[in-house]
Structure 1
């Protein structure tokens, strides 16, 4: 099998040495098992040259956008140029264990699913690591549409996921999010609505590096991106309008909750009682503090 790793590059020179070393380690483990790797770097800062990949790695290719076009455009551009059977969208500042891809491709083949989701090691500000999924209850919600509509995205990064190329919805390729931050949330929602199947590897093979500037940590930016793709979803013939409304209500409610006083929090929670109760149950069952505010 051939695996394509697609990475948007934006002024990420400081990450490239470790990124290239990570890809080389995964290439070796894949080839030892009879698979192959290609890496597609999409340069979304065309005023920069990717010096770190000007080495003799024939499995690397570089696409340069004509101008800064954003993460979603870059991922789709890389996808169109890729030739692999399976796809991973890996961010420039994140890493994989040396045998991550071979374990994931073996799992996706044996489980006959559309995507494999692995656990994540989250680097903290103090340099320690935290496992993202820590209970069976949380694993049970990782690929559940109602959780995505009423709680939020449960996958830290698409770097946790190896996806069958044919399972990526054409709607996601053709209707691009203009605001950076949530094109992966958009992708998972479309795949869930289309009935795509996911399976899990509970080993933490993906490493989310702490930079202090991860866009996913900026909730307001992510919300703006979600509102952007919500408008696009109305043109998707297989995404239910009632689910779009629920998603909009959840995002609006949580944004209001975060900025409100105690009295305001009580008021907006009562006005969105069904979503509030769903989130309380999620927190209790999964034993994660991250659920309620995404």
Structure 2
């Protein structure tokens, strides 16, 4: 509902809703909304997961920009009109904005991912060499031509597929713009992919993260210069994220050793000693030895810290 309740003419955007095999009343609710909001395009498909649903939406999208909004999340009032103004004056490849985490008790917290100075265009090479790319498909608007011209789609059947998506989008984009307004509200559902405590789910999440990471390491090798340096910066942060995931999900010693060996074989462990940020430097210092990772994993209190 947040997307149709915007101060923007309905002929300026399209709203594609993908029913990915839902078993609740979602489809009937959307069909009722269509009578009042004809901009809604409802696509029905068999359940295939988040990536499959996003890819289906991409296949029929006709606008100049793509904006992913997950089912539990919403867009701030009047934000689309402000984004449209920026698109009309600064048609950059990627438009970033502020994002807020929203918790079940109503509390909110800004997501502090590094952003360039507001209201200016920045070359993507400069951005990825100096700022950390957020692994989230909903972090901004992306020109549809990035997807169509470079055949970019999300890998299906994997969890945490956003790692793959953002690296590939930033690898082909040329310019980026940051609009300093809060647009996206990210609801922290207790049993979401990142918060799920099921053992089998977490084992798959870790397997998928390392599989996608391995593919990205090979993918980045085809680039050179600042573009490669910036993408390798993201890879080093992803390697750190995988290690932190091992700790947060309380993995066993055999699993930890196996994942660290795979990271080592890829040349990504021990972690790079480059001084990307204060936080990275601190965590790298704490987690650059297998014994320390196993130690922190054994401490339940460390799960929230990492």
Class of the TM-score when normalised by the shorter of the 2 chains: 0.5 to 0.7
Structure 2 residues without counterparts, runs of 5 or longer: 118-123, 261-268, 283-304
Map 1:60-209 → 2, pairs under 5 A: 60-65=40-45, 67-133=46-112, 138-140=114-116, 144-145=127-128, 154=134, 157-168=136-147, 170-173=150-153, 176-180=155-159, 182-209=160-187
Q: Distance in 2 between matches of 1:245 and 1:282?
A: 13
Matched residue SS, 1:216:
coil
Q: Distance in 1 between matches of 2:96 and 2:29?
A: 29
Q: Distance in 1 between matches of 2:83 and 2:188?
A: 24
Q: Distance in 2 between matches of 1:98 and 1:197?
A: 27
8 Å contact from structure 1 (residues 190, 239) kept in 2:
no
8 Å contact from structure 2 (residues 67, 141) kept in 1:
yes
Deviation per residue, 1:173-206 (Å, 9 max, x gap): 2x624213x2223221112222442211121121
Structure whose CA Rg is larger: 2
Q: Distance in 2 between matches of 1:218 and 1:140?
A: 32
Q: Distance in 2 between matches of 1:276 and 1:253?
A: 17
Moved more, 103-112 or 77-86: 103-112
Q: Distance in 2 between matches of 1:191 and 1:97?
A: 24
Which residue of structure 2 lines up, in the alignment, with residue 7 of structure 1?
Answer: none
* Structure 1 residue 274 corresponds to structure 2 residue 268: no
Q: Distance in 1 between matches of 2:163 and 2:235?
A: 16
Deviation per residue, 1:53-90 (Å, 9 max, x gap): 1220211111122x321111110111111121211110
TM-score between the two structures when normalised by the length of structure 1? 0.67
TM-score between the two structures when normalised by the length of structure 2? 0.65
Q: How well do the aligned residues superpose, as a CA RMSD in angstroms?
A: 3.8
Structure 1 residues without counterparts, runs of 5 or longer: 1-19, 285-291
Q: Note closer, same or farther for the CA distance 1:54–1:177 as it changes in structure 2 (3 Å cut).
A: closer
Q: Distance in 2 between matches of 1:74 and 1:260?
A: 30
